[in-house]
Amino acid sequence: MCTVSWLRDEHGYDLFFNRDERRTRADAEPPGVERVGSTRVIAPRDGEAGGSWVAVNDLGLTVALLNGYRASDADSPPAGGDWTSRGLLVMSLADCTGVRDLAARLEGTDLGTFRSFHLLALDPVETLLASCRDGALERTAGADIAPPLISSSYRFDAVSASRREVYASHLEEPGRSAEDSAVAFHRGHDPERGPFSPCMHREDARTVSFTWVRVDRTRVTMRYSPDSPCRSWPPTFKTWSARARVRGGSPGTSSTSR
């Protein structure tokens, strides 16, 4: 139950993530800067399992994960053990140097104890979508991946078609930047406030946070709203307190504006 979109320009990219969760799930921890290996990472943390759904590192790699919702996910995991939280996979990959490094590491990871998922990875040059179904990994790269990506446990085909139509209409709206159009999409209630809208509201679940990652040649920034973006605005900032190491970029210092 999530919606992810992204935009590229000549300087870098933006990624936007609506996290949808059941209303009874524990509150998440807001983004903080931490080290994964020798790499600095900004990521919010799940309040139950401790993993994350989106993380960006100081090399300009962003990792974002959506649930897959396959029927087999209700079965017991192989060997009768427990399912591994998918958010822990995000953090285990958050120190990769880029998309190619992440793809190689995923290929060497045993995914048999993870429920199905779609993992999106972006760096300043490349894009990868890795989908795991019943422990098997499928990869899609580059131009074959079109935003937005959507997951929903409720009427997936209808919800996905509706949100894609709304997304296209926002980007086609004249007189507004692509970034403003994307933000309006993620905050919006088209076609109406409810299970189909990008900012989702159902009796049992809702959009619980909004994350906006910006990576360019000099800076890595994460903006975060800890509630439905229709009512929690503007988002707060997390940026590097020292030089970012974005590949191909020049050194930059932290800032609270683009």
What letter does residue 59 receive in the DSSP assignment? Answer: T
Please list the pLDDT of the chain residue by residue as tens digits (258 residues).
699 999 999 999 999 999 999 898 899 999 999 998 889 999 999 989 899 999 999 999 999 999 987 767 778 777 778 889 999 999 999 999 999 999 999 999 999 889 899 999 999 999 999 999 888 899 998 878 999 999 988 888 999 999 999 999 999 989 999 999 999 999 999 999 999 999 999 999 999 999 999 999 888 999 999 999 999 898 887 776 445 677 654 333 233 333
**Residue 43 vs residues 57, 201, 223: alpha-carbon distances, Å:** 9, 24, 10
In a domain, 166, yes or no: no
pLDDT of residue 155: 87
Q: Is the dihedral angle over the CA atoms 74, 25, 209, 47 positive or is it negative?
A: negative
**pTM (two decimals):** 0.90
Instruction: For residue 224, give the nearest of 213, 215, 233, 235 by alpha carbon.
Output: 235
In a domain, 53, yes or no: yes
- Tell me which residue range forms the domain holding 101: 2-153+205-239
- CATH number, residue 32: 3.60.60.10
What's the domain count of the chain?
Answer: 1
Phi and psi of 17, rounded to 5°? -135, 115
In a domain, 249, yes or no: no
In a domain, 149, yes or no: yes
In a domain, 61, yes or no: yes
In a domain, 130, yes or no: yes
In a domain, 31, yes or no: yes
